[in-house]
């Protein structure tokens, strides 16, 4: 509840500020997608338009993921059912993941842009401990972990526009992205109550991964006023950190659409397929086979997501975006706690 209140306050204050700018700057009103993209189609940085040549765009994004559903394969299950299987003594029941990301993008040339994304993460988790009473009956005892927070892994990306259908005000473009996720976040935070050999907090709750991960992406954008359509693919190769843990590779594919309904308002929609590979722990430093969350067999998934949202553009160079990501289908390896929804909002400004 506190997270929702914080989000509402942030959203209302940001929206109010931009609304004031909208009515205080009549000469700078947006004019639908056609005029917002006066130079033609543009790439995106966390949902905001990437900068033009010699421009700098700053994006502040907040995201919140709520996870309170246990699944085995494609089937929903419960903590009591997992406990009855007799394999695990610790079962996660609720997790919240909050992320604040500052992204800075600079247009070196009309075709080349560079981006640095700096995240701060905060994760919390509740779980049930399987206990046995004097009569030999199983009981589930609720408990909560201490929050885990800190600087996450910084991502550096270069976007290069390899194709446009015309030199002046193109309405179709193909963009290649190359980047790397750097190991700037802590990946060895400990909890005295942890059952892993090292006392490390669950690998997927750590602020960072401890690995250098190459990223490649390809995006196609088409402007058909009042529509802006897009399709992109993204692949991240996970490497092993020096503690022997390797997250699974991830692949995402997106179809997106943006529709200009008012001079200052766009409706957005996105359909995303996500594949995440199974993690491995060669040294066993993060592994506890009596805990659902600490068993590498319970990692990796395939899922399909829908994300309705909107973009408020009070000025040509500033705006606010919001989307709610909702799962349409999920399939997991083993037993996992999965997301029921994810909220994302961002404020951006181009200098």
Rounded distance between C-alpha atoms, residue 343 and residue 322, angstroms: 8
- Those residues whose C-beta lies under 8 Å from the C-beta of residue 171, and which sit 6 or more positions away, are 40, 41, 165, 222, 223, 224
Q: What is the DSSP string of 116-129?
A: EEEEEEEEEEEEEE
**Please, which pLDDT band fits residue 195 given cuts at 50, 70 and 90?**
low
Is it the case that residue 1 has pLDDT exceeding 70? no
Look at 36 and 67; give whichever has higher pLDDT. Answer: 67
- Give me the domains of the chain, ranges plus CATH numbers: 2-350 (2.40.128.130)
Lowest-confidence pick of 8-22, 81-95, 123-137, 279-293: 8-22
Judge whether 345 and 324 are in contact, CB under 8 Å.
no
**Please, which pLDDT band fits residue 149 given cuts at 50, 70 and 90?**
very high
* Range 179-207 average pLDDT: 86
**Please, which pLDDT band fits residue 69 given cuts at 50, 70 and 90?**
very high
* Range 209-219 average pLDDT: 96
* Range 10-22 average pLDDT: 49
C-alpha to C-alpha distances, 10 to 7, 33, 123, 152, 246, nearest whole angstrom: 5, 26, 19, 21, 35
Is it the case that residue 241 has pLDDT exceeding 90? yes
Is it the case that residue 328 has pLDDT exceeding 80? yes
**Please, which pLDDT band fits residue 170 given cuts at 50, 70 and 90?**
confident
* Range 16-20 average pLDDT: 48
pLDDT, residue 125, reads 93
* Range 139-157 average pLDDT: 92
High-pLDDT (> 90) share of the chain, %: 68
- Those residues whose C-beta lies under 8 Å from the C-beta of residue 300, and which sit 6 or more positions away, are 248, 276, 277, 278, 279, 332, 333
Is it the case that residue 143 has pLDDT exceeding 80? yes
Look at 232 and 225; give whichever has higher pLDDT. Answer: 232
Interval 172-187: pLDDT, tens: 999 999 999 999 999 9
Rounded distance between C-alpha atoms, residue 51 and residue 107, angstroms: 5
Residue 27, phi then psi, degrees to nearest 5: -70, -15
Rounded distance between C-alpha atoms, residue 36 and residue 217, angstroms: 25
Judge whether 22 and 29 are in contact, CB under 8 Å.
yes
Is it the case that residue 25 has pLDDT exceeding 50? no
pLDDT, residue 97, reads 96
pLDDT, residue 47, reads 61
Look at 197 and 295; give whichever has higher pLDDT. Answer: 295
The helix or strand, by DSSP H or E, that contains position 156, with its residue range, turns out to be: strand 155-164
pLDDT, residue 34, reads 53
Judge whether 125 and 55 are in contact, CB under 8 Å.
no
* Range 243-253 average pLDDT: 96
pLDDT, residue 37, reads 53
- 3 state SS for 184-253: CCCCCCECCCCCCCCCECCHHHCCCCCCCEEEEEEEEEEEECCEEEEEEEEEECCCCCCCCEECCCEEEE
Other Cβ atoms within 10 Å of 78 Cβ, number: 14
Rounded distance between C-alpha atoms, residue 140 and residue 151, angstroms: 34
Is it the case that residue 31 has pLDDT exceeding 90? no
**Please, which pLDDT band fits residue 76 given cuts at 50, 70 and 90?**
very high
SS3 111: coil
**Please, which pLDDT band fits residue 24 given cuts at 50, 70 and 90?**
very low
Rounded distance between C-alpha atoms, residue 254 and residue 273, angstroms: 7
Which of 320, 321, 328, 324 minimizes the C-alpha distance to 307?
324
Q: What is the DSSP string of 160-176?
A: EEEEES-SSS-SEEEEE
- Rounded to 5°, the CA angle 290-85-295 comes to 30
* Range 323-347 average pLDDT: 96
Other Cβ atoms within 10 Å of 205 Cβ, number: 21
* Range 86-112 average pLDDT: 94
Judge whether 257 and 268 are in contact, CB under 8 Å.
yes
| CA quadruple 299, 300, 302, 305: dihedral, nearest 10 | 70
Is it the case that residue 302 has pLDDT exceeding 70? yes
Residue 58, phi then psi, degrees to nearest 5: -110, 130
Rounded distance between C-alpha atoms, residue 52 and residue 162, angstroms: 15
First to last CA, the chain: 36
């Amino acid at each position: 509840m506190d997270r929702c209140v914080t989000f509402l306050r942030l959203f209302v204050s940001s929206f109010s500020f931009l609304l004031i700018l909208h009515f205080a700057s009549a000469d700078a009103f947006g004019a639908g997608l056609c005029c917002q993209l006066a130079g033609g189609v543009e790439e995106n940085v966390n949902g905001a338009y990437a900068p033009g040549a010699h421009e700098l765009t700053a994006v502040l994004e907040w995201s919140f993921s709520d996870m309170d559903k246990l699944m085995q394969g494609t089937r929903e299950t419960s903590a009591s059912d997992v406990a009855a299987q007799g394999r695990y003594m610790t079962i996660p029941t609720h997790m919240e993941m909050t992320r604040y990301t500052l992204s800075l993008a600079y247009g070196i040339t009309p075709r080349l842009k560079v981006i640095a994304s700096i995240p701060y993460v905060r994760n919390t988790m509740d779980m049930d401990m399987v206990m046995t009473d004097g009569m030999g009956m199983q009981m589930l005892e609720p408990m909560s972990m201490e929050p885990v927070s800190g600087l996450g892994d910084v991502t550096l990306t270069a976007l290069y526009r390899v194709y446009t259908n015309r030199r002046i005000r193109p309405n179709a473009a193909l963009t290649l992205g190359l980047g790397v996720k750097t190991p700037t976040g802590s990946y060895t935070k400990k909890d005295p109550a942890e059952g892993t050999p090292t006392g490390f907090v669950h690998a997927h709750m750590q602020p960072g991964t401890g690995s250098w991960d190459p990223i490649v992406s390809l995006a196609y954008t088409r402007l058909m006023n009042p529509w802006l359509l897009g399709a992109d693919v993204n692949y991240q190769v996970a490497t092993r950190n020096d503690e022997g843990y390797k997250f699974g590779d991830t692949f995402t594919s997106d179809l997106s659409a943006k529709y200009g309904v008012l001079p200052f308002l766009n409706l957005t929609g996105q359909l995303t397929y996500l594949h995440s590979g199974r993690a491995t722990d060669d040294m066993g430093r993060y592994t506890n086979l009596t805990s659902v969350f600490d068993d590498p067999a319970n990692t990796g998934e395939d899922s399909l997501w829908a994300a309705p949202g909107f973009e408020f553009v009070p000025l040509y160079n500033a705006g606010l975006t919001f989307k709610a990501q909702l799962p349409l289908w999920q399939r997991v390896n083993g037993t996992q706690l999965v997301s029921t929804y994810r909220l994302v909002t961002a404020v951006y400004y181009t200098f």
